[in-house]
Amino acid sequence: MPIISMFYGIIIRMCLIDNQHHNLPHIHAKYAEFEASIGIADGEILAGELPRKQLRLVQAWVELHHDELMADWELAVGGESPYKIAPL
Protein backbone atom coordinates (compact mmCIF):
# COMPACT_ATOMS: atom_id res chain seq x y z
CA MET A 1 0.00 0.00 0.00
CA PRO A 2 1.70 3.21 -1.11
CA ILE A 3 1.97 6.08 1.35
CA ILE A 4 0.27 9.16 -0.09
CA SER A 5 0.74 11.54 2.86
CA MET A 6 2.07 11.83 6.41
CA PHE A 7 1.31 14.46 9.06
CA TYR A 8 1.32 14.68 12.89
CA GLY A 9 2.42 11.05 13.18
CA ILE A 10 -0.43 9.84 10.95
CA ILE A 11 0.39 7.78 7.87
CA ILE A 12 -2.13 7.85 5.02
CA ARG A 13 -2.11 5.03 2.47
CA MET A 14 -4.24 4.01 -0.46
CA CYS A 15 -4.55 0.36 -1.37
CA LEU A 16 -4.26 -0.54 -5.02
CA ILE A 17 -6.48 -3.61 -4.72
CA ASP A 18 -8.96 -3.72 -1.84
CA ASN A 19 -12.13 -5.77 -2.20
CA GLN A 20 -12.86 -5.60 1.53
CA HIS A 21 -14.88 -2.37 1.21
CA HIS A 22 -16.61 -3.24 -2.08
CA ASN A 23 -14.74 -0.61 -4.09
CA LEU A 24 -15.99 2.22 -1.87
CA PRO A 25 -13.43 5.07 -2.24
CA HIS A 26 -11.41 5.11 0.97
CA ILE A 27 -8.00 5.59 2.52
CA HIS A 28 -6.16 3.80 5.31
CA ALA A 29 -4.93 5.93 8.21
CA LYS A 30 -2.42 4.62 10.77
CA TYR A 31 -1.44 6.31 14.01
CA ALA A 32 0.71 4.43 16.54
CA GLU A 33 -1.07 1.09 17.09
CA PHE A 34 -4.38 2.38 15.66
CA GLU A 35 -5.50 1.90 12.08
CA ALA A 36 -8.74 2.73 10.28
CA SER A 37 -10.27 2.76 6.82
CA ILE A 38 -11.82 6.17 6.17
CA GLY A 39 -14.36 6.91 3.43
CA ILE A 40 -13.31 9.67 1.03
CA ALA A 41 -16.89 10.83 0.44
CA ASP A 42 -17.75 11.63 4.06
CA GLY A 43 -14.61 11.08 6.16
CA GLU A 44 -16.36 8.48 8.30
CA ILE A 45 -14.66 5.36 9.65
CA LEU A 46 -15.51 2.25 7.63
CA ALA A 47 -13.45 -0.13 9.77
CA GLY A 48 -10.95 0.04 12.60
CA GLU A 49 -10.39 2.96 14.93
CA LEU A 50 -8.33 6.10 15.52
CA PRO A 51 -8.10 8.34 18.58
CA ARG A 52 -10.62 11.20 18.36
CA LYS A 53 -8.01 13.94 17.82
CA GLN A 54 -6.26 12.07 15.00
CA LEU A 55 -9.60 11.15 13.39
CA ARG A 56 -10.55 14.85 13.30
CA LEU A 57 -7.21 15.70 11.67
CA VAL A 58 -7.70 13.00 9.03
CA GLN A 59 -11.28 14.14 8.39
CA ALA A 60 -10.12 17.75 7.90
CA TRP A 61 -7.38 16.56 5.53
CA VAL A 62 -9.87 14.44 3.54
CA GLU A 63 -12.20 17.42 3.20
CA LEU A 64 -9.37 19.69 2.00
CA HIS A 65 -8.04 17.16 -0.51
CA HIS A 66 -11.24 15.45 -1.65
CA ASP A 67 -10.69 16.05 -5.39
CA GLU A 68 -7.07 14.89 -5.24
CA LEU A 69 -8.09 11.79 -3.29
CA MET A 70 -10.75 10.90 -5.84
CA ALA A 71 -8.21 11.33 -8.66
CA ASP A 72 -5.81 9.06 -6.76
CA TRP A 73 -8.62 6.55 -6.22
CA GLU A 74 -9.25 6.40 -9.97
CA LEU A 75 -5.54 5.77 -10.54
CA ALA A 76 -5.49 3.02 -7.90
CA VAL A 77 -8.59 1.34 -9.36
CA GLY A 78 -6.81 1.35 -12.73
CA GLY A 79 -3.82 -0.40 -11.13
CA GLU A 80 -1.58 2.68 -11.16
CA SER A 81 0.27 4.17 -8.21
CA PRO A 82 -1.49 7.15 -6.62
CA TYR A 83 0.27 10.52 -6.35
CA LYS A 84 1.49 11.98 -3.06
CA ILE A 85 -0.81 14.59 -1.51
CA ALA A 86 0.35 17.53 0.63
CA PRO A 87 0.12 17.02 4.39
CA LEU A 88 -2.19 18.96 6.68
Question: Per residue in 10-64, pLDDT tens?
Answer: 999 998 765 555 578 999 999 999 999 999 999 999 999 999 999 999 999 999 9
Indicate whether 51 belongs to any domain: yes
Indicate whether 52 belongs to any domain: yes
Indicate whether 88 belongs to any domain: no
| 88 vs 58: which has the higher pLDDT | 58
Stated pTM of the model: 0.91
Indicate whether 85 belongs to any domain: no
pLDDT band at 86 (very low <50, low <70, confident <90, very high): very high
Indicate whether 30 belongs to any domain: yes
Indicate whether 86 belongs to any domain: no
Indicate whether 84 belongs to any domain: no
The 3-state DSSP class for residue 40 equals: coil
Indicate whether 87 belongs to any domain: no
Q: Domain tally for the chain?
A: 1
Show the domain range for 53. Answer: 3-77
Phi, psi of 73 (to 5 degrees): -60, -45
Q: Which of 9, 28, 4 is nearest to 18 (CA)?
A: 28
